[in-house]
């Protein structure tokens, strides 16, 4: 059986001081919830505080990006080794905001994913279509291509360290959530692509999340779908009560 993973993506929110408070409040709320892996992907400067506050809880800490080189003259970048040493277990790769605002391409997403996996991190690889692409009827092609390029050179064994997050760009931060059927349809397309690239057994083991305006109200319907194995949650992960309700919805 594949794992359900509920991951918060704080984006550029929360200071280190607020991080400690947040996790101390969240931890007892979710302590008994063991049907999903719980992750908070925090800004780099919050990692130390997050790892300390989450120590001894069932909350794992993730980062929001990683560079593909081991070290060197890459001003402003953070390596996988740096993340591992700081206690991070997961890293988001290829979020649509990185693709849209910071020139991230399918190729750099693939390089970053490989760097993360080689260092022992679990890569949460984001794929998803824009509204224009959906209206053009090319969602399946776009998502399949993003998935295929992101997974280039990643072995079946390494696939165990991959989560794919289907995040339709039009649903991110817009309050416009995909219907449970739309989310399930595209997550199933991704799973079929992975089955073609690897095997059906490998695809059946892969955790595929939905992301895009998931909240306390809609999480249960989305998470009940057969091919939706969790969520990547932005806005609603910034409130303890909302994030707790989403983790609860995964039970």
Q: Which of 4, 5, 6, 9 binds ligand PGA (CB under 6 A)?
A: 9
Please state the closest distance from residue 215 (CB atom) to ligand PGA, in A. 7
Q: What is the DSSP string of 113-144?
A: HHHHHHTTPEEEEEE---HHHHHHT-HHHHHH
Torsions phi, psi for 155 (to 5 deg): -75, 170
Q: Which of 167, 227, 229, 242 binds ligand PGA (CB under 6 A)?
A: 167
Of the residues 21, 29, 167, 185, only one is catalytic, namely 167
Residue 207 burial (10 A CB sphere; 0-12, 13-18, 19+): buried
Of the residues 95, 97, 104, 129, only one is catalytic, namely 95
67 is annotated as an active-site residue: no
163 close to 5: Cβ distance less than 8 angstroms: yes
Q: Which of 78, 172, 183, 223 binds ligand PGA (CB under 6 A)?
A: 172
171 close to 213: Cβ distance less than 8 angstroms: yes
Find the helix or strand (DSSP H, E) in which 28 lies: helix 16-30
Helix 16-30, helix 240-249: angle, nearest 10:
40
* Contacts (CB under 6 A) with ligand PGA, residues 90-149: none
Give the integer Cα–Cα distance in Å for 98 and 150.
14
Q: Is 214 in the site for ligand PGA (CB under 6 A)?
A: yes
Query: Which residue of the chain is nearest ligand PGA when measured via CB?
Result: 234
Please state the closest distance from residue 150 (CB atom) to ligand PGA, in A. 16
Q: Which stretch in 48-56, 59-67, 211-219, 220-228 sits in contact with ligand PGA by CB under 6 A? A: 211-219
Q: Which of 36, 235, 242, 244 binds ligand PGA (CB under 6 A)?
A: 235
Beta bridge partners, 7, equal 39, 232
Q: Is 62 in the site for ligand PGA (CB under 6 A)?
A: no
Q: Which of 213, 223, 228, 246 binds ligand PGA (CB under 6 A)?
A: 213
Q: Is 27 in the site for ligand PGA (CB under 6 A)?
A: no
Beta bridge partners, 6, equal 38, 231
Compare residues 67 and 235 and give the one whose CB is closer to ligand PGA: 235
Taken in order 151, 156, 160, 166, the sign of the CA dihedral is: positive
Residues that bind ligand PGA (CB under 6 A): 9, 167, 172-173, 211-214, 232-236
The residues carrying an active-site annotation are 95, 167
């Amino acid at each position: 059986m594949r794992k359900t993973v509920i991951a918060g993506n704080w984006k550029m929110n929360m200071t280190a001081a607020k991080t400690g408070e947040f996790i101390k409040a969240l931890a007892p709320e979710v302590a008994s919830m063991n049907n999903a892996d719980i992750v908070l992907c925090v800004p780099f400067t919050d990692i130390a505080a997050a790892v300390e506050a989450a120590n001894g809880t069932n909350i794992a800490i993730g980062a929001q990006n990683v560079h593909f080189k081991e070290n060197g003259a890459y001003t402003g970048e953070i390596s996988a080794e740096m993340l591992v040493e700081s206690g991070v277990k997961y890293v988001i790769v290829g979020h649509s905001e990185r693709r849209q605002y910071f020139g991230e391409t399918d190729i750099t997403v693939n390089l970053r994913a490989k760097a993360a996996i080689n260092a022992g991190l679990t890569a949460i690889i984001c794929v998803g279509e824009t509204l224009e692409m959906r209206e053009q009827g090319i969602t399946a092609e776009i998502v399949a291509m993003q998935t295929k390029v992101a997974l280039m050179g990643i072995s079946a064994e390494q696939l165990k360290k991959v989560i794919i997050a289907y995040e339709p760009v039009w649903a991110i931060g817009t309050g416009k959530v995909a219907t449970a059927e739309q989310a399930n349809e595209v997550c199933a397309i991704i799973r079929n692509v992975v089955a073609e690239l690897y095997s059906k057994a490998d695809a059946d083991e892969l955790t595929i999340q939905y992301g895009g305006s998931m909240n306390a109200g809609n999480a249960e319907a989305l998470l009940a779908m057969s091919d939706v194995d969790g969520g990547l949650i932005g806005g609603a992960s910034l409130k303890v009560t909302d994030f707790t309700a989403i983790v609860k919805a995964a039970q």
